[in-house]
Structure 1
Amino acid sequence: MVNRPTDNLLHAPAEIWLRRLMLNHLQGRARFPADMGLSPPAYRQLAQRVLLAPAPRPHNLRQQDELIAMLQRSRRQERQGLAEWLQQYMVPRGAPLNQLIARGSLGFNHLWQDLGLSSREELRELMTDCFPELVRMNHRNMRWKKFFYRQLCLADSGEINCRSPSCEQCIEQESCFAPED
Structure 2
Amino acid sequence: MMGDVFTQYWYPIITAFHQGKSALPAHLGISADDYYQITELVGLVPIATHDLPQYAALQLRHELIGMRDDELSELTELLTEHLDHHQPYAQQMATVLANASMGSQHLWRDLGMPERPRLSQLFHDYFPTLHALNHHNMRWKRFLYKQLCESGGDYVCRSPSCETCTSYEECFGEER
Q: Give TM class, smaller chain.
A: 0.7 to 0.9
Letter of the 1:133 partner, please give it. T
- 1:13 offset after TM fit, Å? 2.5
User: Which 5+ residue runs of structure 1 have no aligned equivalent?
Assistant: 1-7, 164-171
Does residue 85 in structure 1 map to residue 78 in structure 2?
yes
Does residue 140 in structure 1 map to residue 140 in structure 2?
no
- 1:104 offset after TM fit, Å? 0.7
Aligned to 1:34: 26
Name the CA distance, whole Å, in 1 between partners of 2:79 and 2:100. 13
Runs of 4 or more above 4 Å deviation: none
Does residue 52 in structure 1 map to residue 47 in structure 2?
no
Does residue 25 in structure 1 map to residue 20 in structure 2?
no
- 1:138 offset after TM fit, Å? 0.3
Name the CA distance, whole Å, in 2 between partners of 1:127 and 1:155. 19
- 1:114 offset after TM fit, Å? 0.5
The Cα offsets for residues 131-178 of structure 1, whole Å up to 9 and x where unpaired, read as 222221001111111111111121226x98446xxxxxxxx8742124
Aligned to 1:108: 104
Name the CA distance, whole Å, in 1 between partners of 2:133 and 2:157. 19
Name the CA distance, whole Å, in 2 between partners of 1:51 and 1:122. 17
CA shift in 2, pair 1:15/1:79, >3 Å:
farther
Aligned to 1:169: none
- 1:67 offset after TM fit, Å? 1.6
Name the CA distance, whole Å, in 2 between partners of 1:75 and 1:173. 27
For normalisation by structure 1, the TM-score amounts to 0.76
For normalisation by structure 2, the TM-score amounts to 0.78
User: Which 5+ residue runs of structure 2 have no aligned equivalent?
Assistant: 159-166
CA shift in 2, pair 1:64/1:95, >3 Å:
same
Aligned residues: 161
Identity of aligned residues (%): 30
Q: Which one scores higher on RCO, CA 8 angstroms, separation ≥ 6?
A: 2
